[in-house]
Structure 1
Amino acid sequence: MRHPARLERGSLLGGRYRILSILGSGGMSHVYEAEDLKLPGKIWAVKESVTKMPYEGSMEREAALLTSLRYPRLPQIVDFFAPDDDGYTYLVMEYIEGLTLSDYFKQCRGKIPVEQLMEFVLQLLDVLSYLHNLDPPVIYRDLKPSNIMITPEHEVRLIDFGIARSYKTHLAEDTVKLGTAGFAAPEQYGSGQTDARSDLYGLGALMLYLMTSGAYTEWIQGVESSIRSDVPRTYAPVVRRLLRYDVNERFQTANEVRKELLRIPGMMSSPVDQQLTLGGGTRVIALTGVSAGAGVTHTAIAISHYLERQNFKVAVIEMSPRSQSFTRIQHIALGGKPVASSRQFAVDGVHYWKQSGRADILSLLGGSYQFIVMDLGSGQDQNRLEEFLRADLPIIIGSGAEWKQAEIGAFVRTHYRFPREKWIYCLPLAATDAVERVRRTLDTSHVYGLPLQQDPFDKDVHMDRVFSQILGHLMVGQTPKRSFFSLKKYMSRGD
């Protein structure tokens, strides 16, 4: 059903968001561009939907789902308005500049260059892998051109999580049958429960649509002859397998698809695999300590200034509500002068944010920072735990002393139900044998000893060597922002 748009240019939502224009409309919703009156110059996207009354909470579920996710290729949620008396509800989210893939496709007259097309596919595999590896997995279920944004830098962003769902192991099939005809997997129409393989079917339908200039979204007899002549035929078997009716005959994970694509001649010689699957967006590094005094703040500051010396734009955030560390740093940076009321200050190009909350993080993620480093302290409240788990790189700081190593094991056991593949363990001042002992105990190679660094603001070649090992994969594809002033600063440092 199509509902009339409630808002218009000049309308004020919640006394804060002034509508500037309408960005688009679908069968169930309208999306507006809005300016933030509390944050002058900040632009948000506002999604307006109508829900059946009595209220069933569908938009609220979408808001809760998106708020729980943090990934460079997903929009960030900043506000939610529950349904009014007429059922109209509003979701305020990150404004993503660019075109939908649908519009981009039209702009290219149905022929997106093959190299670019595969870049988009690899980026989609990147975000699907993230969603499917959550606990429980999140199934997107509506992978179609109008739900994919292409930024001016050719970065992919998934939008509109209106029918996404968390996978439920006890269900034989989905309670609600939803999806866009042509792009939805057969099981979305009642033949079973959707899972990660349903999204892979959607990816196959999307690939075939782009490879046939919009002619086909399913593998039927004769479709191969309609694939564009400039598309290598080696892609056809991948698409055909993605579009199998039987879910067990498809690729089973996004990583399987990626590996298969990268085996195709020409793909590995392209920078796509390393650059575009990780490039763009804001990377979040979160540090937590297994006990008080473990060295979280020192390490967070050292990482921030290491990244700044590589000429990335960096913010470091103090998430411990009672910490006074950043206030003391600000006092020293000001030469002992009274500390200003502002919670933000800068030291050697790194932006510091004192005693910050989730609203600050969402705002910063929508900004121009390439890296955000979170100092979570040693507390384990729910909000800080969630930030740790969402981070692109979660780092645990513990002691290498034999009598304190049990603290790291206790931390891991306490959080046993969460995926730990990305976790990094850092042991300040730990000897080599202590690092090896912890690696054996935790059964992981991701344990690093941090050498002595008296001043975390200054360069230390030994610490830089460790950080390059830990952070190197995050820096791939992130383009350093060098200007005349930053070059002058680096020359003056002698780097």
Structure 2
Amino acid sequence: MNTLEQRYQFISLLGQGGMGKVYLAEDTKLSRKKWAIKEIPLTGMQRKQVISEVEILTKLNHQHLPRIVDYYTDEQQQHIYVVMDYIEGTTLQEVLKQKGVMDWKDTLHYSLQICDVFIYLHHDLAEPIIYRDLKPSNIMITKQNEVKLIDFGIARSYNQEKQDDTIKLGTIGFAAPEQFLDGQSDHRTDLYTLGSLIYFAISGKRYDQHATTPLHHVAKVPQELSSIVQKLTKHDAGERYQSAAEVKHALYKLLNKHDNNKKEQSITPMNIGTVMISVIATHKGMGSTHTAMMVAHHLNKKGYKVALIEANKSNEFKYIEEDYDGKQHKEVQTSCFSMHGVTYYKCEPTIEIATVIRLQYDFIILDIGCDLNQAWMGEFRRSQLRLVVGSAATWKKQKILDFVQQYEKEETKDWVYCIPFAESDQMLEIKSELRSKRMYAVPSNPYPMKLQEKTIAVFDEVLDHLPLNQKKKRLSIWWLLVPTSLVLAGIYVMMIVRM
């Protein structure tokens, strides 16, 4: 088969295992977008079960899981083809092949992200899902150093009424005892596999020795980490940690303790060095979303990990995702999506800034728009950079003046004004009325994911005072110039001597 549904053109085989093959495919209808397509054989009694499980997986929506956007069966009902996000990166297995041993703090950085996935799968879904196959080859590390769990081949829905798993599956060395013995796997099964994974990565790829040899005996790690791993990998599930949230708390506590001992910055969820930028509009239609997108993608192009949050009720992000994924006129059931390296979070009642901050973004951009409710204005006040989007047009200029007057008791002198399409004489006039030095005319830039040179220059100036490691970059250039100047001086001296 070269194409699927006359749309997906198969390019190459990415990998294969006991549960099927995974292909790289190109979307012929959507700007040659690349997808991963998993081919799963359907046999006899398994057919209904596999299709049922795939339907459940299509509803999953989490930062650290690839989206499953569609699935098809062939005419003979012999295979099911699952279309999902193609994740660019390297598997943890490949990373370990190169490094041999993983630093324990790096391992826990990945483990915290896995805990977030397990919290979602075990507790946030109406029908909990047990992953059951956590191992290095199923963990993708992206260029942004994010974890993605890429294979749900043996995942299963948890049924409280069942006593046993229908099929006994798992990877030896990582799987929990109940995956091969009598009894049903549950959320604690996944916690066991996490403990096995931590031991494997830090100990130099030793299999299943955690039952007899504590981790701190085979690797240079805190004894507390060794205790955490031992508790995670208890034979009796009742003696393990009882939730991924409990494990996450223990890992955070351990990391913070050792960072504090070294007098380094604490990495508590609310203090990890994330810079917050808020964008508000003086009134509707000013383009706060467009401006927020330009800022986000500008920072991402500089190599920073960026999240953009829809902190208003416009539902613009829904239409942006539909347009990007080619799903016009369809309901897109996701709370976040990635586009050109930036993660977009849609406005939802359950969204919490703290949850996003825990993912260790360098920058979080809040698109507040003109929905200035008390909660979002609180975030605006706490932001390191506060951008106000308004108009300098003669018939709209009064709106920006009235807007600022509403907040005259605020620290408006620190606000930065972005005025789209403004002419120089308009900028001078409104600058004098607002008595603000930090005001920038933003040129026309129809495609906010790809900034033009003039726009880049403007946002470089807007963001100049933020911690963008500019001093470090300038220092590196300086040290390149120093040896060059010394070489030139040497040549000059030699010339004089010869004369």
* Aligned-partner Cα distance in 2 for 1:162–1:51: 13
Alignment of 1:197-236 (within 5 A): 197-222=188-213, 224=215, 227-228=218-219, 230-236=220-226
Greater CA drift, 238-247 or 160-169: 160-169
Letter in 2 for 1:250: R
Query: Equivalent residue of 1:261, what SS?
Result: helix
* Residue 186 of structure 2: aligned partner: 195
1:372 aligns with 2:383: no
Cα pair distance change 1:78/1:204, threshold 3 Å:
same
After superposition, give the CA deviation of every residue in 1:139-175 in whole Å (9 maximum; x if it has no partner): 2111111111111232110011122223222233333
* Residue 181 of structure 1: aligned partner: 172
Query: Equivalent residue of 2:47, what SS?
Result: coil
* Residue 113 of structure 2: aligned partner: 123
Query: Equivalent residue of 1:235, what SS?
Result: helix
Query: Equivalent residue of 1:53, what SS?
Result: coil
Which residue among 13, 25, 39 is the counterpart of 1:22? 13
* Residue 68 of structure 1: aligned partner: 59
Letter in 1 for 2:138: N
1:160 aligns with 2:151: yes
After superposition, give the CA deviation of every residue in 1:61-87 in whole Å (9 maximum; x if it has no partner): 343222211111100112211254261
Which residue among 477, 480, 488 is the counterpart of 2:457? 488
Letter in 2 for 1:133: H
* Aligned-partner Cα distance in 2 for 1:163–1:275: 35
Query: Equivalent residue of 2:58, what SS?
Result: helix
* Aligned-partner Cα distance in 2 for 1:259–1:162: 29
Alignment of 1:471-486 (within 5 A): 485-486=454-455
User: Do the aligned residues in 1 keep the contact of 2:336 with 2:345 (CA within 8 Å)?
Assistant: no
Letter in 2 for 1:68: K
Cα pair distance change 1:163/1:447, threshold 3 Å:
same
User: Do the aligned residues in 2 keep the contact of 1:304 with 1:314 (CA within 8 Å)?
Assistant: no
Following superposition, the deviation at residue 302 of structure 1 comes to 5.5
Query: Equivalent residue of 2:9, what SS?
Result: strand
Letter in 1 for 2:164: E
Which residue among 232, 241, 250 is the counterpart of 1:242? 232
Query: Equivalent residue of 2:105, what SS?
Result: helix
* Residue 104 of structure 1: aligned partner: 95
* Aligned-partner Cα distance in 2 for 1:213–1:35: 38
After superposition, give the CA deviation of every residue in 1:2-55 in whole Å (9 maximum; x if it has no partner): xxxxx5xxx111111111111111012111111111113311111111011366
Greater CA drift, 188-197 or 71-80: 188-197
* Aligned-partner Cα distance in 1 for 2:60–2:390: 32
Following superposition, the deviation at residue 392 of structure 1 comes to 7.0
* Residue 85 of structure 2: aligned partner: 94
* Aligned-partner Cα distance in 1 for 2:171–2:70: 27
Following superposition, the deviation at residue 363 of structure 1 comes to 13
* Residue 257 of structure 1: aligned partner: 247
* Aligned-partner Cα distance in 2 for 1:103–1:48: 23
Aligned residues: 374
User: Do the aligned residues in 2 keep the contact of 1:317 with 1:372 (CA within 8 Å)?
Assistant: no
Following superposition, the deviation at residue 219 of structure 1 comes to 2.6
After superposition, give the CA deviation of every residue in 1:354-391 in whole Å (9 maximum; x if it has no partner): 9955577779935326343647xxxxxxxxxxxx5896
TM-score (norm 1): 0.61
* Residue 358 of structure 2: aligned partner: none
Cα pair distance change 1:241/1:362, threshold 3 Å:
closer
* Aligned-partner Cα distance in 2 for 1:276–1:187: 39
Q: Which has the higher contact order (CA 8 A, sep 6+)?
A: 1
User: Do the aligned residues in 2 keep the contact of 1:122 with 1:277 (CA within 8 Å)?
Assistant: no
Cα pair distance change 1:59/1:300, threshold 3 Å:
farther
User: Do the aligned residues in 2 keep the contact of 1:149 with 1:159 (CA within 8 Å)?
Assistant: yes
**Which stretches in structure 1 are left out of the alignment for 5+ residues?**
1-6, 280-296, 327-342, 346-350, 376-387, 395-425, 436-445, 466-479
* Aligned-partner Cα distance in 2 for 1:199–1:240: 14
* Aligned-partner Cα distance in 1 for 2:286–2:63: 21
* Residue 378 of structure 1: aligned partner: none
**Which stretches in structure 2 are left out of the alignment for 5+ residues?**
275-282, 300-305, 355-368, 381-387, 392-399, 412-448, 465-499
Letter in 1 for 2:146: E
* Aligned-partner Cα distance in 2 for 1:197–1:51: 29
* Residue 258 of structure 2: aligned partner: 266
User: Do the aligned residues in 1 keep the contact of 2:103 with 2:202 (CA within 8 Å)?
Assistant: no
Cα pair distance change 1:448/1:313, threshold 3 Å:
closer
Alignment of 1:36-75 (within 5 A): 36-53=27-44, 56-75=47-66
Cα pair distance change 1:224/1:50, threshold 3 Å:
same
* Aligned-partner Cα distance in 1 for 2:67–2:271: 20
Cα pair distance change 1:55/1:122, threshold 3 Å:
closer
TM-score (norm 2): 0.61
* Residue 82 of structure 1: aligned partner: 73
User: Do the aligned residues in 2 keep the contact of 1:70 with 1:76 (CA within 8 Å)?
Assistant: yes
* Aligned-partner Cα distance in 2 for 1:182–1:139: 18
1:172 aligns with 2:141: no
* Aligned-partner Cα distance in 1 for 2:145–2:379: 37
Alignment of 1:317-336 (within 5 A): none
User: Do the aligned residues in 1 keep the contact of 2:19 with 2:153 (CA within 8 Å)?
Assistant: no
Letter in 1 for 2:188: R
> Percent identity between the aligned chains?
33
After superposition, give the CA deviation of every residue in 1:201-226 in whole Å (9 maximum; x if it has no partner): 11001111112211122533245476
Following superposition, the deviation at residue 274 of structure 1 comes to 4.1
User: Do the aligned residues in 2 keep the contact of 1:20 with 1:34 (CA within 8 Å)?
Assistant: yes
* Aligned-partner Cα distance in 2 for 1:163–1:278: 38
* Aligned-partner Cα distance in 2 for 1:447–1:272: 24
Structure with bigger gyration radius: 2
User: Do the aligned residues in 2 keep the contact of 1:148 with 1:157 (CA within 8 Å)?
Assistant: yes
After superposition, give the CA deviation of every residue in 1:92-134 in whole Å (9 maximum; x if it has no partner): 11000112211221121x2123332221112211221222221
Following superposition, the deviation at residue 258 of structure 1 comes to 1.9
Query: Equivalent residue of 2:54, what SS?
Result: helix
